């Protein structure tokens, strides 16, 4: 993989990781359209470390307050300490599912047919959430039950095409959270999962030598910058707008992929 290819894919990763349109799908589709080599599941996981830097940087003050509150053992009294506990609790399902389903995630589930199907399926769920959700709860109203349910939804994101941000956003909206509050918790919940996946796959990616150090750094930098901008934009966007635009985009992309597969144009 060249430096240019890694930088472009890092840019794609940063933009699509936090928008509910599936970064894994785009990291699989963009190389296919450009006739570039597929970076594989390891590259997709490692390049997420760039977006990890983005979300940690964006929420650095919040994370600092959480850690400080937890250190003072304010779990019952402090929202920040409880939020840290909820993030940990919500991460458990994806950790278990990732270990148990690792081989399927790295192999057959990366097929374009699976990606296309999940793009459309989650779009339908998102439309249902938009139609039925109350959008009344602030993030301060979150409970352990909410965190676990959103965490279970996050585990489904191990299936490429689902979108981690998309499925957790849907789950939180169905639980009655405002769109911007749902996105905020989704972003915070991503931190442990993305860190664990990236660090786990990093030795494998370096050992394969398919991606050089310079290319990897270029990809990580591009992902970090574009990811930060993506987080900031989406939080502002969801304060006043719905997710229907993402629903339409997912359906169009999913149907395009399905038609391309049937026409044998991307395989």
Domain count, the chain: 1
- Paired with 137 in beta bridges are 177
- The answer on pLDDT for 266 being more than 60 is no
In a domain, 173, yes or no: yes
Residues 34-61: pLDDT tens digits?
888 877 777 787 888 999 999 999 999 9
- What is the domain extent for residue 212? 3-262
Give just the sign of the alpha carbon dihedral 234, 237, 242, 246. Answer: negative
In a domain, 112, yes or no: yes
In a domain, 267, yes or no: no
pLDDT band at 221 (very low <50, low <70, confident <90, very high): very high
**Burial class of 64 by CB neighbour count within 10 A (0 to 12, 13 to 18, 19+):** exposed
Residues 66-87: pLDDT tens digits?
999 888 876 567 889 899 999 9
State the pTM of this model.
Answer: 0.90
Q: What is the mean pLDDT of residues 110-136?
A: 94
Nearest one of 81, 85, 51, 48 to 66, comparing CA atoms: 81
Instruction: Report the share of the chain in percent with pLDDT over 70.
Output: 95
pLDDT in the model for residue 47 = 86
pLDDT band at 181 (very low <50, low <70, confident <90, very high): very high
């Amino acid at each position: 993989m060249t430096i240019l290819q890694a930088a472009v894919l890092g840019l794609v990763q940063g933009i699509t990781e936090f928008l509910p349109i599936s970064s894994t799908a785009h990291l699989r589709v963009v190389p296919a359209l450009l006739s570039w080599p597929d970076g594989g599941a390891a590259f997709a996981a490692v390049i997420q470390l760039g977006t990890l830097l983005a979300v940690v940087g964006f929420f650095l003050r919040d994370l600092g307050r959480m850690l400080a509150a937890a250190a003072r053992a304010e779990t019952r009294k402090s929202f920040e300490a409880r939020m840290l506990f909820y993030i940990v609790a919500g991460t458990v399902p994806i950790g278990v599912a990732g270990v148990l389903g690792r081989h399927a995630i790295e192999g057959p589930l990366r097929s374009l047919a699976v990606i296309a199907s999940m793009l459309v399926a989650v779009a339908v769920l998102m439309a249902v959430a938009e139609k039925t959700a109350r959008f009344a709860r602030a993030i301060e109203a979150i409970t352990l039950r909410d965190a676990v349910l959103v965490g279970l939804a996050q585990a489904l994101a191990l299936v490429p095409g689902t979108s981690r941000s998309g499925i957790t956003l849907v789950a939180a909206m169905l639980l009655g959270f405002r769109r911007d509050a749902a996105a905020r918790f989704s972003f915070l919940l991503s931190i442990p999962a993305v860190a664990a996946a990236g660090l786990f796959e990093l030795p494998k990616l370096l050992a394969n030598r398919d991606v050089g150090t310079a290319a990897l750094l270029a990809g990580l930098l591009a992902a970090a910058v574009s990811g930060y901008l993506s987080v900031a934009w989406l939080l502002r966007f969801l304060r006043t707008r719905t997710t229907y635009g993402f629903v339409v985009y997912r359906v169009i992309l999913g149907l395009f992929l399905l038609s391309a597969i049937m026409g044998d144009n991307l395989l």
